[in-house]
Amino acid sequence: MSVEPTTKPAAAAGPVGLGDVTVNRMGFGAMRLTGQGTWGEPADREEAKRVLRRALELGVNLIDTANSYGPEVSERLIAETLHPYPEDLVIATKGGLTRPGPGDWRRDGRPEALREALEGSLRRLRLERIDVYQLHSVDATVPLEESLGALAELQQEGKIRHVGLSNVNPRQLAQARSIVEVVSVQNRYNLGDRYSESVIEACEREGIVFLPWFPLNAGALATAGGKLAEVAASHGATPAQVALAWLLRRSPAIAMIPGTSSVEHLEENVGAAALELTDAEFADLSRTSGAHL
């Protein structure tokens, strides 16, 4: 889907508040701006940089990344391409997962490890403060109050503006909110995987933004056919755009961060912000795609 450079379709879905920060609900996830398996440099570094610049042209003002993407590659690329940043650009990053090697993701929620991770992200992103810093995953070997206590300390020191969570259940979210103010939760959620329904409901009640990762369940989209393809055809859209539009319609708490390493796919994804499903289409897709787990 081609979008003229002068338009900003990312704003079509409206804004959402991350604490005292307002962003468009269609953002960008920078995980795929790395090598295969989220490891190493991207195959086409210049294309990756074009994707970042084009995202801003399209009105994206929320970019989500992590120190473990590459590792460190995604953060460095963002700074190299976009710094000095526009005033309205919010960069959210994460700490708490380490990468000893390709395909290897390990939790490390120790306070000293999180502090080191945060300091590294500040250097790579060329920032004095991270707008939204997220605990990438709860470390079962470290009490949650210790991990989040470290982030609360860093927030008090002025190095973190807002704290977010990733990969948590409702009980962990409730526990976290007794320790520090939480502005966002990032869990896996899409048309074919509704495991985090209860987390979304909690976010709606508490005014917390929900950022679904893996918003395009490629397997489910490939086999869905039927209703998904029918809705896409009726709107002159792609099945992927319909899947993203369904997420935006699913809850006002949801903000999108689909990722890609292609400008063409970026434009297609952002174009979904302007796609409005009818009540009947939304209901049919909600019934026929995936199961509520």
Q: Residues with catalytic annotation?
A: 69
Place of tokens 């590294």: 120
SS3 278: coil
R_g over Cα of the chain: 18
Q: 104-107 and 97-101 as β-strands: parallel, antiparallel, unpaired?
A: antiparallel
Burial 190-226 (b: 16+ CB within 10 A, else e): bbbbbebeebbebbeeeebbbbbbbbbbeebbeebee
Q: What is the DSSP string of 137-194?
A: S--TTS-HHHHHHHHHHHHHTTSEEEEEEES--HHHHHHHHTTS-EEEEE-B-BTTB-
Nearest-angstrom CA–CA distance, 98 and 69: 9
Q: CA 268 → CA 65, 105, 271, distances in Å?
A: 20, 30, 5
Count of CB atoms situated within 10 Å of the CB of 112: 9
Angle at 46 between CA 43 and CA 48, to 5 degrees: 70
